[in-house]
Structure formats: structure tokens, C-alpha cells
Chain A
């Protein structure tokens, strides 16, 4: 019988360390598939963040660099400016990107760096044990918001796509989710589009993926998917926040 679904070339055979029901593995697969489909694997440098995905280099058949907490967009800037032929995948979680690295992501976007940012939003700090993140929902209980996030003391969730869409330079910003087959397909398309834009020299793109963390949410994997659908998407509406091709306005210098 002919094999019609294969493991992507971009991933090796190691068993992933992620928890059951975690979204990282799903997005890793989409990244590897997209790079293979676009024939970009050999030009790719994968930047792993601080967080659960710090060990992404265990799985990808690409060159790899590990960046400090929040600093992946800066390392990405340096790599891309040094060698514009490289395809830079800057993979960051919400503690990394939306807290420690707010300056870096805002300015990489504002400069229009020709990189792809894959932003995994699971509303908690995963690796350190499920503490409150800037993206934690109001009322959500975490190990540092044991009574639920109180907006009077801890503010409201930070909306990265909406914030970055206020800057002029980015070409493509979309928020997707992993909670349903339709949304999985949408996420895969978005990831691939981001890489394609980069390969064509279009400029900055970011895909925010609402992703489950059953372990730190204290849920089963199916419950976690339901929680994304019922709660997270209400706070973080899915959709395209920016989709402009370079030829629609002033040509990006990169």
C-alpha cells in the first residue's frame, strides 16, 4: 500500500519530551511540513526560546540557535542581517514573547525584519510550572494567581497581534488555534504562508497560535481543547490582523 502521509523531513525520530495533549508537537510538525513543502529546510535556522520549546533542537533537522528569554527576535535580526539567504524561524511562547521580550518583538516588527515569528500562546508559563503569564485570562487560576487573575491587581491579558498590528511594517499577522480540525488546517496554512513571505523577501510576519497546556491548566487534553474553544478564543479572537504584500505599498528594503 502506498504511504500517503509521511513524517516530514524536517523532524527526526526522537520521541518528543512534551506532555500529552501539548500543542508544541503539533506546531513543530506544521513547521517541518511547511519548510519541506517550500523547499526551505536547508536554509533554515530555527531559534528556540526559553520555555518548554527550548529543546526544539532535539527534533528539527535544521541548524539551530538557542536565544535568551525574550531575545529571539534580536538574535533573528542579527542572523538575517548577516545572511539574508537564511530562513529564520523565531519560535516563542507567551512568557517569552509577551513578557520578557516585549521590547524585542515590538521593534523587530516595527523595523519590518524579514523573519517568521511563530508565537505559541497557552496563557501560562509552561516550563516553570504554570505561573500567571501576561496572556493569562481574567479569573484564570494559575500557580501565581491561585484565586484567579484579578484585573485590579494583575491587569488584563496582553493582545500581541492587535498590538503589533498598530505598527506599519509587518506584512502578515494572524491568530489561529489548535482546537479543531478546521483551525488546525488554518494554522498550517498560516505557518506556511509566513515562511513563504519570508522566502520572497516580503518582511515581518507573525502567527499567534492558541495552544493547549493540559498539564498546567489541570485538564485532560480534550478538556483543554474545549477550554480554548470556550474561553481563549473569546478573549483572543482568531483572524488576520495584517495581510499586505510588499507591492501594495512602499517596497520593503530587505
Chain B
């Protein structure tokens, strides 16, 4: 680890990606993530083999990532909600063609042009699909600048290990805020990609990276292969964090920055002798279903808080499956809930 530095979340993503061996970055300016392309445009040209390309659109950026990653390179693009919508076509192709890459979504308010304030309303789009067809996207949700760095670093490994696209989602304010952060060492050893990456045919028969499988039976077989991989990811890559859940009767479920607001609420409730705790999903897909299920017995109710009209709450309800009440509180449009209003909303159900 390096020594601690004070940095914006967006810059931490960029620095950590470089340390993870990402030499190729393709992006397009959009608030509130523009510090990432700015950082990359300063750093990558100084690295041998490195390149920063400002794409003409987010549509193009994700397809540049597709090309670069198909050549075996660690490649990344970043954007914010409206730009991520434009990338959905490319993400679907990349998922089908099994090309590993990392995408970061510093989420802002929507729908439409919305605003540049933080929201979590892209959950459906990134966790449930967004692009067309049968595929899944590994989605990681940091809650601090440190975690933005750590999860970016890990995202490249997960992508390479399973040959899948991995997306990091962070609320706009997490991208903008500054916190102390430590970085991992520059990565020097990588998974061998020679069995599939496009390098020319000097030493092997022609290779193909494609997402067209015209014969329905062949396409079905390929989708089954993808889903076998997804089952493995569900088994190995679930991430979550718990805070004071031992014996907790009120299980607050929140991800990202808002989980830190929830900590204040839990501390206040605990001061009053109310047994509350937090289960924070870190991987939104694969979703920590089993961890949630394991709390059903002890819980009086689950309380889901999101900066949206309620999206992850559907997955919580699926996990709880009617066994206990699942309440929801959310603010949207870029409004961040205060600890007091979250506290008041929990109290409504006591």
C-alpha cells in the first residue's frame, strides 16, 4: 500500500485503475465524473503503451473499450447515468462476446437529462439488464473514496477471471468528495489471455470475438455457458458488509454513500436501546440474497433506504419472500436523505 493521500473519489478511481494495469482509457466528459477522464488524460500518455482517447460519444467509448480489451489489454471507460444509457448497446455485445473490461458509473439524477446531483436510480438499468438479451453485469457499489479505489482495482481482476464486464456504481457526491485513500501497488502479474485475445495469427489458428450466433440452438448453448459462469460468480463474488447486525431486530439495507447516513441512524437507535443494524450490499449483482435470508429469523422488519423511488428494495423483497415486512424509504431527484428523516421513517414502523 502507498501512503495515505487526500483525493476525490473520481481521482481515486483513475489512480487505482492505472495501478491495476489499465493503460487504455476511453471516455467522454460528463458531470459528475469528468475528473476521471481529466486524470487519465494527464497520466496515461506518460505510461509506455498507455493511451487516453476522448471518444466522440459514450457509444463510441464503450466500443473502443471492446476493441482494446479484445486485444488483451486492461481497458476502462467511465461516465454518468445518461452516458451509461448510451453504452448499454456496447455492454450487451461485450457481455455476449465475453470480453473483460471495467465501466464506472458515477450516478446522477434522472430520468432524462435530470441533474448533476447524486441518485441511485440506475440500479434497475445496471443490475437488471439495460442492454438487450440474456446477460448479467457484475455491479460493485463502493461507499467511500477508499472503497472506490479498492473496488476499481478488484473489478479488473473479476473481469479478467470470468471474462465479463464489471461496473462500479457510485453516487455523484462520492465521486466528488475528498477522503484519505491508500492505493495498492502497481499490478505486474496478469491472467494469461493468449487463448482468446486477438494478437494476429503468427502462432495459432484464426480466433474470433463475436456476439452473433445465428443458429438458435448454438445461441442457446452459448447463453447457457454464460449463465454457468454467472452461477460461479454468484457463488464466489458476493460482497456485503454488516454493521451491528448481531441480534439486530431492525435490519437496515442500504448501499453506497447512503449506508453511511444509515450508520448515524443505527447509532442513534442503539443509544435508545433499539437493536438496529445495517446490511450493506457491496456487490449489487451478485446480490447478497443469502446474507439477507440469514437475518429473517432475528428481524422484526427490514428497512430499505435508497436514493431512488425504490429499486433494490425489489431484490430485498425477493430475498425475504414475504417472511417479514420490508419497508422502504427513499428520496430521489438528487436529494440526499438526512439522518433525521431516515431515523423518523424507521421509527414509524416501531
Contacts A77-B53, A81-B24; A66 near B71 (Cβ below 8 A): no
A71 beta carbon closer than 8 Å to chain B: yes
Q: Which of B57, B64, B70 contacts A103 (CB 8 A)?
A: B57
Stretch binding the partner chain, chosen from A36-44, A181-189, A203-211, A235-243: A36-44
Asked whether, in the complex, the Cβ of A81 is within 8 Å of the Cβ of B68, the reply is yes
State which of A55-63, A136-144, A154-162 sits at the interface with chain B: A55-63
Interface size for B (C-beta < 8 A) is: 38
B198 touches A63 (CB 8 A): yes
Interface 1/0s, chain B 65-94, versus A by CB < 8 A?
111111111010000000000000110010
Asked if B56 and A41 sit within 8 Å, CB to CB, the answer is: no
Chain B residues with Cβ below 8 Å from A106 are 56
The interface size bin for chain A is 35 or more
Contact A78 B67 (CB under 8 A): yes
Contact check, A66 vs B209: say whether CB atoms are below 8 A apart: yes
- Contact assessment for B200 and A74 in the assembled complex, using a CB-CB cutoff below 8 Å: no
Task: Tell me the A86-139 residues at the B interface (CB within 8 Å).
Answer: 86, 103-104, 106-107, 111
Q: Is A31 an interface residue (CB 8 A)?
A: no
A213 within 8 A of B: no
Q: Which residues from chain A contact B198 at a C-beta distance below 8 Å? A: 45, 63-65, 79, 86
**B212, A81: Cβ atoms under 8 Å?**
no
CB of A67 closer than 8 Å to a CB of B: yes
Q: How far is the CB of B103 from chain A (nearest CB, A)?
A: 14
In the complex, which residues of chain A have a beta carbon less than 8 angstroms from the beta carbon of B24?
Answer: 78, 81-82
**Cβ-defined contact, B199 with A63, below 8 A:** yes
Closest A residue, CB atoms, query B204: A63
How far in angstroms is the closest Cβ of chain A from B214? 8
Residue of B nearest to A58 (CB): B208
Docked pose: A232 CA to B199 CA in angstroms: 39
Tell me the bound Cα distance from A81 to B50 in angstroms. Answer: 8
| Cβ A65 vs Cβ B209 within 8 A | yes
Q: Is the interface of B mostly helix, strand, loop or mixed?
A: mixed
How many whole Å from A204's CB to the nearest CB in chain B?
A: 14
Given A68-B93, A78-B75, A104-B60, residue A63 in contact with residue B66 (CB < 8 A): no
- Chain A residues near B65: list those with CB within 8 A: 78
> B48 → chain A, closest Cβ, in Å?
12
Give the nearest-CB partner of A66 in chain B: B210
Q: Does B207 contact A (CB under 8 A)?
A: yes
User: Are A64 and B59 interface neighbours, CB within 8 A?
Assistant: no
A68, A71, A78: the one contacting B26 at CB < 8 Å is A78
**Could you tell me if A86 and B63 are in contact, using CB atoms closer than 8 angstroms?**
no
Question: Quick one: given A71-B59, A74-B60, are A61 and B71 in contact (CB under 8 Å)?
Answer: no
Q: Is the interface of A mostly helix, strand, loop or mixed?
A: helix
How distant is the Cα of A67 from the Cα of B93 in the complex, in angstroms? 8
Considering residues B24, B26, B64, B69, which has the most beta carbons from chain A within 10 angstroms of its beta carbon?
B64
Please judge, given known A-B contacts A66-B209, A103-B56, whether A79 and B199 are in contact too, CB under 8 Å. Answer: no
CA distance A45 to B209 in the complex (A): 10
User: Which residue from B60, B72, B201 sits with its C-beta under 8 Å from A82?
Assistant: B72
Q: Which of A64, A65, A107 contacts B60 (CB 8 A)?
A: A107
Shortest Cβ distance from A68 into B: residue: B93
Task: Let me know if A76 and B67 touch, CB within 8 A.
Answer: yes
Q: Which one of A42, A74, A77, A86 has the highest number of Cβ atoms from chain B below 10 Å of its Cβ?
A: A74
- The verdict on B336 contacting chain A, using a C-beta distance below 8 Å, is no
Instruction: Evaluate contact between A66 and B211: CB separation under 8 angstroms.
Output: yes
Check if B71 sits within 8 Å of A64, measured CB to CB.
Answer: no
Given the contacts A54-B212, A66-B210, A68-B89, A75 and B64 also touching, CB distance less than 8 Å:
yes
A77 CA / B70 CA spacing, docked (Å): 12
B55 at the interface (CB under 8 A from A): yes
A248 on the B face (CB < 8 A): no
Instruction: Give the interface of B toward A (CB within 8 A).
Output: 24, 26, 51, 53, 55-57, 59-61, 63-73, 75, 89-90, 93, 97, 198-202, 206-212
Give 4 closest A-B pairs by Cβ, nearest first.
Answer: A78-B67, A74-B63, A78-B68, A75-B67
Instruction: Supply 22 A–B pairs (Cβ within 8 Å), ascending by A.
Output: A42-B201, A57-B208, A63-B200, A63-B206, A65-B208, A66-B211, A68-B89, A71-B60, A74-B64, A75-B66, A75-B67, A78-B67, A78-B69, A81-B24, A81-B68, A82-B67, A82-B72, A82-B75, A103-B56, A104-B60, A104-B63, A106-B56
Task: Supply 15 further A-B pairs (C-beta < 8 A) apart from A44-B200, A66-B209, A75-B67.
Answer: A41-B201, A43-B200, A45-B198, A62-B201, A63-B198, A63-B201, A64-B198, A65-B209, A66-B208, A66-B211, A74-B64, A75-B63, A76-B67, A78-B24, A107-B55
